[in-house]
Amino acid sequence: MRAPVGGTILEQEVSSGQVIASATSSASGGTSLLKMRTSAASAASAGGESDVGNVRVGQPASVTVEAFPQRTFQGLVEKIEPQAVVQQSVTMFPVLISISNEAGLLLPGMNGEVSMLVDQRSQVLAVPVDAVRSVRELPSVASALGISVDTLRAQVDRQVQARASRRWPRASSGPSPPARA
């Protein structure tokens, strides 16, 4: 048997002479033969329920890992899992990002962070939520912007909620999926 691409074998799960199940005749999908690291890498992350509707397959993503904090690895969204995962009472959807790893710097099990642009607007007034330090400042900020306090309060609330939902969990790189017989 030959692998379709070059790489390094990380784990050999069967031995010579062992009887294996074919992926085409087994309900379980066959026997895993080995785990292999290729020049491509993948990162698994999870998107919040409110953001995942804006994530698309093929969308660019940036990944940084703890081992190389000053370097950003570019990738593309490969898959958005249809099954949600609940983590600490928050509904998340697993997202798989493919990353080029030609230099071989990314290793299985590295932790990092995924960033992707899910929404962008132009020609709008933006006031960072950090500019309003307390709710007591809302009337003076609203007056300076020429809007009502209630309108500003609603906008600040939306920004706070959006910021909380855009915190993506740490990514973890991993080996290529197991080769199947």
Percentage of residues of the chain with pLDDT beyond 70? 76
CB 9 within 8 A of CB 59: no
For residues 78 and 25, the answer to whether their CB atoms sit within 8 Å is: no
Tell me whether residue 167 is exposed, middle or buried, using C-beta atoms within 10 angstroms of its C-beta: 0 to 12, 13 to 18, 19 or more.
exposed
- Which CATH class, in words, describes the domain spanning 8-118+166-180? mainly beta
Task: Say how many residues make up the chain.
Answer: 181
Separation CA 19–CA 57 (nearest Å):
38
Domains of the chain by residue range: 8-118+166-180, 129-162
Identify the DSSP state of 137.
G
Q: What is the pTM of this model?
A: 0.53
Q: How much of the chain is helix, strand and coil, in % rounded to 5?
A: 20, 35, 45
pLDDT, one tens digit per residue, over 118-151 is: 778 888 777 676 776 777 888 888 888 888 889 8
Q: How confident is the model at residue 5 (pLDDT cuts 50, 70, 90)?
A: low
